[in-house]
Structure 1
Amino acid sequence: MDIRKSVLASFLVILPALLQAADVYRTVDDEGNVTYTDAPVKTDGKIEKIEIQPGPSEASRLDTEQRNAAIRKAMEEARNKRLEKEASRATQLSKARKELDEAEENLKRTKELGEDDRQYLTGGRSRIRPEYHERVKEAEKKVEAARKNLKEARGY
């Protein structure tokens, strides 16, 4: 078994040189040893001619290189588009978060009752003016719109 491995290793080492040769012959002697040569050897063992496919033509090789270059270019363009899309999405997401933070802060300030938000009635009573409720509802609508925009920016 070790002889076969060493013969195979030898063959693999000389394979590139053999591929340059026009004909390759595989010879198996009576003891089972395998030899590869570029000329038939006189022996009582089995001699077999091995057909080796020629390498690709220069035109075929150039066509393949051009296809590979086109594929690499298309992959790079797709990668760049993906990166641009991710950057755009990150910008939109950041903007949507900022808008939501601002809308929530505005709602918080709007809910704080000011002196002008009360209407004083006779008998020492007071009530909250309708304008206050309208401002709060408007601020709440802006918060909901900002939440919706953030949800859309996240892709949900």
Structure 2
Amino acid sequence: MVKKLYPLVIVVLLLPWTLTAEVYRTVDEDGNVTYTDSPPADPKKVEKIEIQPGPSEESISDTMERNRAIRKAMEEAQEKRLEKSTARKDRVAKAEQEVEEAEKQLAAMEEFGDDDRQQLQGGKSYIRPEYFERVKKAQRELDEAKKRLKKIRGY
């Protein structure tokens, strides 16, 4: 990339010398405008155009230094954006994994085990309150994991 800038720098440095030539503007009888670098034969209809000199070497070097500083700042900002993006993706992946684990845990807690029913005399049974507490706890954990995921995703 730097090698490509050398010809550009040379052209910019040589530009002021090429622009120091005198330029003349003439208008003929038909209204045609002509620009030349040598004075025409009819001096009555000639207008000499003053061309401002190009930028100084100091100005060019200052501009190049500012451009380098801007380029460096842009590269640093790009790196920071990439780091933030990667960190966010990692947090989202971790939160998604937590939601998936919480869903599996809820499914496991909803399964009836032998200890979840209590047999009463007369052949009746009921579901123990511990089962409902266990399922509610797993559901709360799933809801919290989903809230964390939404917060990380930003919605």
Cα deviations by residue, 1:100-150 (Å, 9 ceiling, x for unpaired): 111011101101110111122222222222221221111011101111011
Unaligned runs of 5+ in 1: 1-15
| AA partner of residue 131 (structure 2) | Y
Identity %, equivalent residues = 57
Aligned length: 141
Amino acid at match of 2:128: R
Cα separation, 1, equivalents of 2:127 and 2:54: 91
CA RMSD, Structure 1 to Structure 2 (Å): 2.2
Kept in 2, the 8 Å contact 1:29–1:43? The answer is no
1:115 aligns with 2:119: no
Aligned to 2:154: 155
1:39-59, CA deviations, whole angstroms, 9 ceiling, x for partnerless residues?
322216511110101110011
CA 146–55 in structure 1, closer or farther in 2 if over 3 Å, else same = same
The aligned residue for residue 9 of structure 1 is none
Name the TM-score, length of structure 1 as normaliser. Answer: 0.79
Letter in structure 2 aligned against 1:118: R
Structure 2 alignment gaps of length 5 or more: 1-14
The answer to whether the Cα contact below 8 Å between 2:24 and 2:37 also exists between their aligned partners in 1 is yes
- 1:63 corresponds to 2:62: yes
When structure 1 is superposed on structure 2, of 75-84 and 37-46 the one drifting more is 37-46
CA distance in 1, matches of 2:72, 2:104: 48
In 2, are the aligned partners of 1:24 and 1:49 still within 8 Å (CA)?
yes
Find the residue that maps to 2:118 and give its secondary structure.
strand
Are the aligned partners of 1:19 and 1:52 in contact in 2 as well (CA < 8 Å)? no
Deviations 1:73-93 (A, max 9, x none): 112222221122122111111
In the other structure, the counterpart of 1:135 is 134
With normalisation by structure 2, the TM-score equals 0.80
| Contact 2:92–2:152 (Cα < 8 Å) also in 1 | yes
CA distance in 2, matches of 1:44, 1:71: 50
2:123 aligned partner, one-letter code: G
